[in-house]
Amino acid sequence: MIAAETIRYIKLGRNGSWERASLDNGELHFGFQDAPHDLSLTGDFDSIRHHLIERGRDPRSATRDAREICEFYQFDEKCLWITFAREHMWWAFAAPAVTWLGGDGTSHGERSRKVIGGWSNKDLKGSPLTISRLSTRLTKVAGYRRTICSIEASDYLVRRINAVDEPLLAKCTMAREEILVATQEAIRELHWRDFETLVDLIFTRSGWNRVSAVGGTQKLLDLEIEQPITKERAAVQVKSQANQKTLDDYIRHVDEAAQFKRFFFICHSPQGTLRVPEDRDNIHLHTDRELAEAVHRTGLYDWVLEKITL
């Protein structure tokens, strides 16, 4: 578990111009060529600010610049630094020593610190910290127009790096689990005709088009569906209850028909554990848990409740 006494965001140069120098070399780069290295080492905020004003900075900007310079030089190895680059959030701790590099600030900053152990774009469990999966409460800091700033969502940040679930997430996960169990029970209460209609609605809302009647007296299948873009056809069999032999028989019948690229077997109350052949990725088995999740993904929860309360 990591802990940090101080946390700061740092921009890797204008338009990410220091990304390569920073991330690939395991360094923390910083600019402000107008602030001499010797003066910056003193950490004298007032002197640095006064020097910047003498060099033409307005007092307000000089105050902000002096703060950033002092933080870059004074924060020790207990400060957690983060940045955003290459579609990820990166984090690191840096050694205190600051090295003057000079230059024009194009490909690297004028000064740098070595990162301890390198930059990381993964949490402590090894999962990538992709920007798209982080809260805007944190990622909005990437819009900061200067170089160094504090982090408002610091607690959230540390939890994400430590791979600790958000307290609210744990609460929501528990509530979701309870509602999925209740949904499974509700599906089992459906009349068999309503269950067939539910399956038809799930496929329709998932982008499949029905090309046959639902259920009825069809000998082999309850439903034939087609994917409108690929024209892929699939067979669907709906059963309230079924055992392994039932499933195997239908797989054999569909194979003999040789008309379908995929076969979906839907059963809300399987008798024992049902399994499809491991080498058949074109056969899809959906039982109680998968059905409940599909109901919620397709927005059919209220429809199910209406059917069992009529």
213 in the same domain as 126 = no
96 in the same domain as 133 = yes
279 in the same domain as 244 = yes
- Residue 268 identity: H
- Of 111, 145, 164, the position where a domain reaches its end is 164
What's the CA angle centered on 299, arms 297 and 304, to 5 degrees?
115
Please report, for the domain that includes residue 253, its CATH number.
3.40.1350.10
Q: Is residue 178 part of a domain?
A: yes
Q: Is residue 1 part of a domain?
A: no
11 in the same domain as 160 = yes
Q: What is the pLDDT of residue 237?
A: 95
Alpha-carbon torsion angle 264, 269, 274, 278, nearest 10? 30
282 in the same domain as 237 = yes
Please report, for the domain that includes residue 116, its CATH number.
3.10.590
Total domains in the fold of the chain: 2
Q: Is residue 19 part of a domain?
A: yes
Q: What is the pLDDT of residue 103?
A: 87
135 in the same domain as 21 = yes
- Of 149, 164, 179, the position where a domain reaches its end is 164
Q: Is residue 145 part of a domain?
A: yes
**Which residues pair with residue 236 across a beta bridge?**
223, 264
> Please, what is the end-to-end C-alpha distance for the chain in angstroms?
53
91 in the same domain as 138 = yes
Q: Is residue 36 part of a domain?
A: yes
- Of 139, 164, 189, the position where a domain reaches its end is 164
Q: What is the pLDDT of residue 217?
A: 39
Among 285, 287, 55, 53, smallest CA distance to 184 is for 287
**Segments forming the whole domain that contains residue 146:** 6-164
177 in the same domain as 152 = no
Q: What is the pLDDT of residue 14?
A: 87
Distances (CA, A) of 18 to 84, 106, 146, 199, 273: 12, 8, 14, 54, 56
Q: Strands 111-120 and 88-94: what pairing?
A: antiparallel
- Residue 52 identity: L
Q: Is residue 96 part of a domain?
A: yes
> Could you report the average pLDDT of every consecutive run of 10 residues in the chain (310 residues)?
92 91 95 89 94 92 94 96 97 96 90 96 96 95 92 94 87 93 96 94 94 59 91 94 95 92 95 94 95 96 90
192 in the same domain as 138 = no
Q: What are 261-290's pLDDT values in tens digits?
A: 999 999 999 999 999 999 999 999 999 999
204 in the same domain as 153 = no
Distances (CA, A) of 92 to 70, 75, 101, 123, 165: 19, 13, 21, 12, 21
Q: Is residue 219 part of a domain?
A: yes
Q: Is residue 59 part of a domain?
A: yes
Q: What is the pLDDT of residue 213?
A: 65
Q: What is the pLDDT of residue 214?
A: 58
Spatial separation of the C-alpha atoms in residues 236 and 219, rounded to whole Å: 12
250 in the same domain as 108 = no
172 in the same domain as 152 = no
